[in-house]
Amino acid sequence: MSAEASTKKKLKALVIEDSEIDALLLIEQLKAGGYELETQRVDSAEGLSAALAGQSWDIIFSDHNMPSFSSTAALKMVRARNPDVPFLIVSGTIGEEVAVAAMRAGAQDYLMKGNMARLVAAVERELQDAAERRARKEAERTLLAQEEEFRLAREIQQHLFPAQAPVFEGYDLAGASFPAAATGGDYYDFISTPSGDVLVVVGDVTGHGLGPALLMADVRAYLRALALAHHGVAEMLTNARSLLLRDLGLDYFISLFFARLEPATGMWSYINAGHPPGLVLPGDGGAPLEMFPTTPALGIDRDEEPLVPKQVQLKSNDIILLVSDGIIEAWAPDGEEFGEERMLAVVQRERERPAAEIIQALMDAVRAHSGTNVLQDDMTAVVIKH
């Protein structure tokens, strides 16, 4: 066996596609990306049912519109049998509402047939996500004493977080979220856009338990779907806000820091919807720039006032810090809050370390201040180094 053959990654891929040519093009793209494939093509409900019963699959690709079948029907069948196998829609055209519905129903991603450049990267990401989901589920089975609602909420929350941060030359991105025993609604995400930028999200739903976790799942689905069709943070968040108001009712609201980083230019555009201020720590040692709320939290402002993003031109060695209030408001046994001053001191002291290590140092400092490893609230942080 050649060295090249031995390094190929084995992949069992089920392709739901009425066009044999389109299926072959997808398969060839995967082969070029270093995969050794075992594949089967189906184009009907009967064929899919037989394929799912015949063996397990590592990943499933589906065209959206077929003469006698659709990705919507296929996804429902797949999720009824296996809730975790990555399901990617590969289609020529798909509407925004259909994309949102598909993401909410459990599809991981969709790609346009005319632009398959990110196919291999999407497959690698979803396979890693699936492996981590399986590992998390196995670990959660040992937590028999945990109340059922918190178990379900924690599982949903873990699915929200990205498996890894995107990589850009000249930048170091990292994020982490640690749920409290009373599971809440913290969320962070890195969403790559077709233009090569990255959307950065940190959010917090009021309350604890399954309800907030489900609402954050909605936020993730809306923003990831909208990112494929829109370019401005204001346009995306305006659309997401309109969709979310129907889900939030009158009992919940969501604070959300939503930003776009353009790695090529260093431009940072953001909207802060009622979230704790984000911070830019200048590389020249100057005073931190506080990115205060620019609009109320989603669900509080029912009049849907226009969203206007603010921009910051990042410079070399600048650091962006985004956190949830669980870090700032963590209290010591005497009642004193951890506070922004301590938080800044930790980040400034550790600023030469990688972004992930800065976050770990910050979390360690909060736990030391609290005098316990039992979290008082969810703690979430994102660090971006330029």
Q: What is the pLDDT of residues 194-204, one digit of tens each?
A: 888 999 999 98
Fill in the DSSP letter of residue 251: T
Supply the pTM of this predicted model: 0.60
Q: Is 323 left (phi over 0), alpha (psi -120 to 50) or beta?
A: beta
Say how far apart CA 76 and CA 106 lie, in whole Å. 9
* pLDDT over 70 (residue 239): yes
Q: What are phi and psi of 259, to 5 degrees?
A: -145, 160
Residue 303 has what pLDDT?
60
281-301 average pLDDT score: 90
Helix/strand/coil for 142: coil
- Whole-angstrom distance, CA of residue 226 vs CA of residue 201: 13
Under a CB-based contact definition with an 8 Å cutoff, are residues 68 and 43 in contact? yes
Residue 17 reports pLDDT greater than 80: yes
What pLDDT is attached to residue 113? 84
Q: What is the pLDDT of residue 1?
A: 46
The highest-level CATH class for domain 147-385 is alpha beta
Structure tokens at 216: 């954050």
Q: Measure the CA–CA gap between 279 and 322, rounded to whole angstroms.
A: 7
146 vs 177 pLDDT, higher one: 177
If one compares 24 and 145, the residue with the highest pLDDT of the two is 24
Q: Cβ–Cβ contacts within 10 Å for residue 375, how many? A: 19
pLDDT band at 145; cut points 50, 70, 90? very low
Residue 5 pLDDT greater than 70, yes or no: no
Nearest-angstrom CA–CA distance, 318 and 288? 10
**Report for 82-86, 104-108, 127-131, 267-271: range of highest mean pLDDT:** 267-271
Burial of 102 (0-12, 13-18, 19+ CB in 10 A): buried
381 neighbors 363 (Cβ within 8 angstroms) = yes
State yes or no: pLDDT of 147 exceeds 70. Answer: no
Place of tokens 């690698």: 124
Residue 309 confidence class, pLDDT cut points 50, 70, 90? very high
Measured CA to CA in angstroms, residue 343 lies from 77, 135, 177, 287, 361 at distances of 48, 32, 16, 14, 10
Tell me the DSSP string of 269-309: EEEEESPPPEEEE-TTS-PPEEE--SBPPBTT-TT-PPP--
How far is 212 from 269, CA to CA, in rounded Å?
27
**What's the rounded mean pLDDT across residues 302-326?**
90
CB-based contact 192:166 (threshold 8 Å): yes
Q: Are residues 91 and 120 in contact, defined by beta-carbon separation less than 8 angstroms?
A: no
Residue 218 — very low, low, confident or very high, per pLDDT cuts 50/70/90? confident
Quick check: 286 pLDDT over 80?
yes
b/e burial code for range 175-194 (CB count within 10 A of at least 16 → b): bbbbbbeebbbbbbbbbbbe
Burial class for 351, CB neighbours closer than 10 Å (0-12, 13-18, 19+): middle
Architecture of domain 3-122: 3-Layer(aba) Sandwich (3.40)
Q: Enumerate the domain spans of the chain.
A: 3-122, 147-385
Higher pLDDT, 104 or 339: 339
pLDDT value of residue 212:
76
d(CA 312, CA 345): 22
Rounded Cα–Cα distance for residues 345 and 339 (Å): 10
Instruction: Please list the residues that pair with 337 across neighbouring strands.
Output: 331
Which stretches of 160-266 are assigned E, i.e. beta strand? 172-178, 185-192, 198-205, 254-262
117 band by pLDDT with thresholds 50, 70 and 90: confident
pLDDT at 3: 46
Percent share of the chain, pLDDT over 90: 51
Mean pLDDT of the chain: 87
Residue 320 DSSP SS3: strand
Q: How far is CA 165 from CA 171, 190, 200, in A?
A: 11, 7, 10
Close Cβ partners of 294 (under 8 Å, ≥ 6 residues apart): 270, 271, 272, 273, 307, 308, 309, 310
Provide mean pLDDT across the span 153-168. 78
Write the DSSP symbol of residue 326: H
Angle between helix axes 339-349 and 355-370 (nearest 10 degrees) is: 140
* Mean pLDDT computed over 109-116: 82
Indicate whether 112 pLDDT > 70: yes
Whether 157 contacts 212, CB under 8 Å = no
